Amino acid sequence: MNIQKRRNGDVTILDLQGKLTVGDGAELLRDTVTSIVFQGDRKILLNLAGVPYMDSGGLGELVRCSMATRKAEGAVKLLNVGGKTADLMAMTKLLNVFDTFDNEAAALASFTGSGTGSA
117 pLDDT more than 90: no
User: Which domains, from first to last, does the chain contain?
Assistant: 2-108 (3.30.750.24)
Q: What is the predicted pLDDT for the residue at 113?
A: 55
| Nearest Cα residue to 111 out of 47, 46, 43 | 43
Which helix (H) or strand (E) segment holds residue 79: the answer is: strand 75-79
118 pLDDT more than 50: no
| Nearest Cα residue to 52 out of 5, 1, 105 | 1
Condensed to tens digits (0 to 9), the pLDDT of residues 71-113 reads 999 999 999 998 888 898 999 999 889 999 999 999 999 998 5
| Nearest Cα residue to 59 out of 24, 85, 96, 32 | 85
Q: In the chain, count of helices (H) and strands (E)?
A: 4, 5
Q: Rounded to whole angstroms, how far apart are CA atoms 96 and 27?
A: 24
Q: What is the bridge-based pairing of β-strands 11-17 and 2-8?
A: antiparallel
Condensed to tens digits (0 to 9), the pLDDT of residues 1-25 reads 999 999 999 999 999 999 999 987 8
Tell me the three state secondary structure of residue 61.
helix
Condensed to tens digits (0 to 9), the pLDDT of residues 35-57 reads 999 999 999 999 999 999 999 99
Residue 8 contacts residue 39 (beta carbons within 8 Å): no
